Every structure is written in C-alpha cells, then in structure tokens.
Chain A
Amino acid sequence: MAETKLREYTKEEIKEIRKTRTPIPEQDPVARGKNFDEVALGYTEEQALREANRCMACKKRDCVAGCPVEVPIPEFIELIRQGDFIGAARKIKEKNSLPAICGRVCPQENQCESLCTLGKKMEPVAIGRLERFVADYERMHGSGSGGEDVKPEPTGFKVAVVGSGPAGLTVASDLAKLGHEVTIFEALHKAGGVLVYGIPEFRLPKAIVQSEVEGIQKLGVKIELNSVVGKLYTVDELLERGFDAVFIGSGAGLPWFMGIPGENLNGVYSANEFLTRTNLMKAYLFPEYDTPIKRGKHVAIVGGGNVAMDAARTALRLGAEKVYLVYRRSMDELPARKEEVHHAIEEGIEFKLLTNPVEIIGEDGWVKGIKCVQMELGEPDESGRRRPIAVEGSEFVIDVDTVVMSIGTGSNPIIPESTPGLELNKRGYIVADENGATSKPGVFAGGDIVTGAATVILAAGAGRKAANAIHEYLMSKVKN
C-alpha cells in the first residue's frame, strides 16, 4: 500500500478548505488550443488529500444515490483520506470497472456531485476528480497484491459480445470474472467504441482506454477486431457456432443529418466522421498518418451536446481561426457537460445561440457559408424544454469553409437487418428489459443501442446488469 505521508488537517483547517473545492491543474487555454494533449492534468497526492478531507462522510450518502452504478463514494473517499489510494481504486471497481474513464467523462455535476450534501451550502466534493486520481494512481503504481489474480473456476460457457464500447467491455470483464469464456467482436480495428473513435485525446487519452482494454484481455477475454457482426457472422450464427449467449452493445453510431440543402457539399462532415478521422485515424498527425482531414479556417459546428463541444475543440486544434457553435436553444439548455462548455468558452469557441441552420451555401461544390435563422423560445415541448421557434425574416449567413453536423445519432441497421426475431422500437433501437434481455432467447443488449445515445456510465451500468442476467441465464441452463 502507498506509503504516503499523510497531512493531518485540523478542525479549523477543514472548516476552511470545505468552502472551496480544490482546483484541478489544467493546461493554459491558449497553449492547449494548439495541441491534443490532455486539458486537465489531474490532482497531485496533496491535492487529492485536501479534497478528500472536504467530504463529510455523511450517513445518508446522497452522493451514492446520484450515481447510476452506486459507487460507494464516501467509502472510497475515506480510503483516500487514509492514504490508501489503491484500496480506494479497488473500492470503486466493486461497482464501476472503468474509473479512469468515468472520472474523466462522467457528467458528475448532474449525478453524484449534484446531490452532495456539501453542495447545498458550499461547493460539492469533486468526486469525479478524486475518482480519476485514484484510477490513475492505481494504473501508474501497479496493482500489486490485490488478490484478484485468482483465476475463477471455468464454467464451460461461451459468450459473444458485439461491440467493444463501455457496455461491451463491462459485460465482458464481469462475465470473465465469473468464469465464462468471452469473445468480443469489434467492427473497427481498435477496441473501445466511442472512447477511441469519438471522445478526443485531449479529454480522454487513448492510452487510458488501451490500458482498460488490456486489463480486460488479461482476464482472458478474446477480442476479434475487424469483425462486423451481421456481415461476417450473424447473431444466429454466433449462437450456432457454440456461443451460449450473445450480448449486443453496438452503440448508436449512425449519424443524423438535418436534411437541409447543401448538406452533401464538400466540407460538410458528420461529427462522427470528423472525430473518427481525427481520433481513430490520427488525421491530426497527417501526413505521418495517411488519413486526411480538411483543416477548416472558419468552422461551424451544429449542435450543443458533448459531441458538438468535442468537434468544436477539435476543429480549433486542427488550426481553425474561428469556430462557431451553432445551437438552436439557449445556454441554459445546452446538453453538454458544464465543464466542457466552460473549457470551450475559455478556448475561444464562439457560441451562436438561438440560431438554427436552414441551408449550407456552396461554391464549386465546396462549403462557403451557413445560412441560419434566429430562434426564440416558446412554450415547453414534450422534452420539457422550451420549444425554439424561428423568428421570421431573420436569416443571416455565417461565412465558413467547414460545417460539422453534430445533431445526434441513431441506430445502425446492420444488426437489425440480419437478426430476425429481434424486437425493435419505433426508433430502431433494440427492445430489452432492465436486465438486458431481448425478445430473442439467449440474446441480451445494452448501452446506446437500447437507450439511444446516452452516457458512458449508463452503458457500463447496463453492461453490468446484463452480465448478472447472462450469468443467471447460463447457470440455469446447467440445472435443466
């Protein structure tokens, strides 16, 4: 265990430090706008200890209620306070197998931190930053004697997992720990799903995803890359080939477009293409890497979610002079994480709020501008948010050479087309119960392919529930 010299905080000191959360060191906004290195640098041991000492170890554990997978938050923070950083990481892993990732990308301000008791009067405990700290600490200082190297008794059951995003990785690791033989089939040439192709390096270094993937391989999970289920093997063929159950975690990766004129002009990207070229294919290192990307000078990003923020900040780092974020509602409705909106503003992204594109204007086949209308907010719609309404006659054009459509994604048709008997909902997502069971016996599903585009932790949580259900399903097969 870590031999950290603990700094003892006096009562007075604790009273004082409770008032403000410990800031996390970050790269300077101007400098980082030109590189792909991680923005937030992470806590030092001292900083983590200080922040951990802010926690009041409440009996009611409101923070835990806010966590979709119920990480034992006060308990792991207490272990930090005792200087047992590795123990703290293990404590989190009882509930969440991807802490280094979730510590970086979870919307904590809407989850655990939003319910933190301390937050009622002062700033909530920086739970996410502490989670990230212990996960990084564990990764860098080796797991040592964890006792978890004990191999489980093999059950003889084989499970196929489709997709290696957070849902697939979680299901695979949980099932492997229970002694099942697991193979992940991944369409791309790298495992990680959105974590590798979507979320940029400056927010989630790929080495961290890689290390999670390797951890899962060490448990004995096999990963077959370049394997598109539905094309190479169908779900039924996997069942016939000796897999006793199949988990589908194929995500919601089909890009949506607005259907406005000019959307197929050169220089119009879906966020998925823009981010995949940059992250997965490393176009930011072109021509050392072979995949090109248009490095726009004036770029408009359409949308307001995490994906839009990532695209905007990526465009900046690719060398844009001006990046506009075009969003049809106001700042209050932006669905992106607050921290990332804040980072984007710091870096100089210009927010064009209450603005909706109606046409992309071209010249010789290339984007030249984006025609927008001004919007105002009317009555709340079925989503509970005030409905944006176009202001008549308010058209104006923003001069841009690149447009990135980041208005959401849907369900990919490959698996539905090739899997008879799999019930889908109206929007094309797989219907599954809360444990991931689908209409097809032995076939489970979870993550974005069931819920529609959501979050890493919800996908991981769905993976965990499905793993338990699959385990039960397999073990009941023995009895019969």
Chain B
Amino acid sequence: MANKILEKRELRSDLFFFVVEAPEISKKAKAGQFVIVRPTENGERIPLSLADINPERGTISLIVQTIGVTSTKISTLNVGEEISDIAGPMGHPTPVKKYGRVVLVGGGFGAAPLYPIGRAMKEAGNTVISITGARTESLLVYEKELAEFSDKVLISTDDGSKGHKGVVTEVLKSEIEENGADLVIAVGPAIMMKFVSLTTKPYNVKTLVSLNPIMVDGTGMCGACRVSIGGKTMFGCTDGPDFDGHLVDWDLLMARQRTYLAEEKEAMEAYTCDCVPHS
C-alpha cells in the first residue's frame, strides 16, 4: 500500500518536488485538497497540499519544504523508494467557477497548491493573475509553472533582484487598484496570508486562504487543527482548508502553529545526532 516515488526535483535547497504513485487518490482529488503523509513507520503524519493531480498517469505531485524531522525525512527519499502512507484527498476542494478576475498570491511552498487551483480557475473561464515573491531572485520558484495558465505573472523580491522591490502585498494592492479583482486566493505562510487579507479588506475583495494548522489525522477526529473563523471554532481539516481570510483569527493560528517548537528542536537534534534509533 506504500506509494512509490516516480520523480524528484530539488527546486531550492529547502524545497523538493515529488511525483508519487497514488492511482486512487489521483482519480478523486480536486484542486485545493491535501493529503496526510507518514513517511516511515516511526514517522509523524503531516499534511501536504496537492501540487498537481494526474489521473491518467495515476500520480499526484507534492512539494515539501524542509522544516523539521518529517519534512526532512521526506526530502531524503529518492526515486524508486516508497512513502509508507498517504491518505487523502482530505478537505474540501477550492470552489472553482467563473468569478471574473482571480488573483493568486503564493508564498514559499504556497505556489504549489496554487498551481492546480489556478489551472482550474483558468479552465473555468477566469482571467488569472499570479503574484509570487521571495527574498531574492534565486529563491523564487514556480514562476514558469504559474505562467502556463496565468494571464500575467507578477514578481516581487525584497532586494529588488527581480520584479517589484518589496513584498507581494504591495504588488497585490496596485493590481487591485489598477485592474480590480473578483477573488483573491492566498496560499503560503500564515503571516503572509494575514497581510494579504488585510490588504484586500478595504477593497472588499473576497479572499480565500488555505490554512495550515498543525494536524494529526486529517479526518476530523482529533481537533488538533482547530481554527477560529468569525469567532466560531472550526476544524481546518474537515471544514477547510480554505476559509474566508477576512474572518480568520490569525494570531490564534500562528500561536497554535508554535505549540511544538521546543519538541521539534529536540526531535531535529535527535535526528541529526544519530544517537536515537530512527526509521
């Protein structure tokens, strides 16, 4: 039942792209959904977005940013090797229909889940604008992929080495002011999604964000993924992952993401010191 890795690419020293055999999931999955991955027998279960879905080939694509032990373990797996468990598709698909002008904002690994979403939005007849940013040009990823279906790809870098000098929200703001937007979709670190939501709020542009709370089962059984939306507690895995960015309690999300900082440091030390048996 394990899932074989068919392709692997290093996009950046901390970002890895995989194509994995998962015939049943690929038949069923829709843009915006995610899977729960447990790389090895001793491993943790972590959520990863679907970066692409190919039912003909029976594969899904994943992009993994190495953060802690689990993502690092996945990044060390090679073509031909297997991931112990992949469960999914989890969560609800992003509601794809004709909105008009859809602006995608991606940060970090966020550009990956935006890829199937943006393509589906284009197929649904929308004008699609993609905005992606990084600290510097060499850290930019997925620019070419987004260009496949985008009417326009806008870039920002903190140091100005490519595109606009500054942050993505500035690019987003001028795009909305100049051309307007009917829907903004942001995927990336919580802090970025928070500022995207704050940017679109004054213009009253509907903003969907894909939340990334800590998860365990991904099926609504544990409650680890609780988020507060418009004052109501919801489960990121079964109610989401997409929510209205203007209603999200961002501080709570970010606080809860920090729950295991100390343990994760300990785990990483144990993993790299080789003094604890691992598999």
Contacts and interface: CB of A to CB of B under 8 A. Distances in A.
Interface of A: 187-189, 197, 224-228, 231-233, 253-255, 257, 259, 263-264, 266-267, 269-270, 272-273, 276-277, 281-282, 286-294, 365, 412-414
A192 B24 CA distance: 23
B1 A287 contact: no
Given A290-B73, A292-B267, 4 more contacts: A197-B221, A232-B28, A255-B223, A290-B267
Contacts of B85: 189, 225-226
Contacts of B217: 187-188, 276
Interface stretch (B96-104, B116-124, B138-146, B253-261): B253-261
Given A233-B28, A287-B271, A412 B263 contact: no
Contacts of B43: 289-290
Contacts of A413: 220, 238
Contact of B216 (A257, A266, A276): A276
Interface in B61-117: 69-70, 73, 84-90
A312 to B, nearest CB: 18
A289 to B, nearest CB: 5
15 contacts: A187-B221, A225-B1, A226-B85, A226-B86, A231-B28, A232-B89, A253-B219, A257-B226, A264-B233, A264-B252, A273-B223, A289-B44, A294-B259, A365-B256, A414-B219
Contact of B278 (A188, A255, A259, A288): A288
B42 A231 contact: no
Contacts of A414: 219-220, 238
**Residue from B24, B70, B219, B252 having most chain A Cβ neighbours under 10 A:** B219
A224 B28 CA distance: 16
Contacts, number: 128
Contacts of B266: 287
A254 B223 CA distance: 8
Contacts of A188: 87, 217, 219
**Residue from B43, B70, B216 having most chain A Cβ neighbours under 10 A:** B216
A273 B45 contact: no
A292 B222 contact: no
A187 B233 contact: no
Nearest to B90: A231
A228 B44 contact: no
A131 to B, nearest CB: 29
**Residue from B90, B223, B256 having most chain A Cβ neighbours under 10 A:** B223
A227 B87 CA distance: 6
Nearest to B255: A365
Nearest to B266: A287
Nearest to B249: A264
B228 interface: yes
Interface string B233-269: 1000010000000000000100110111001101100
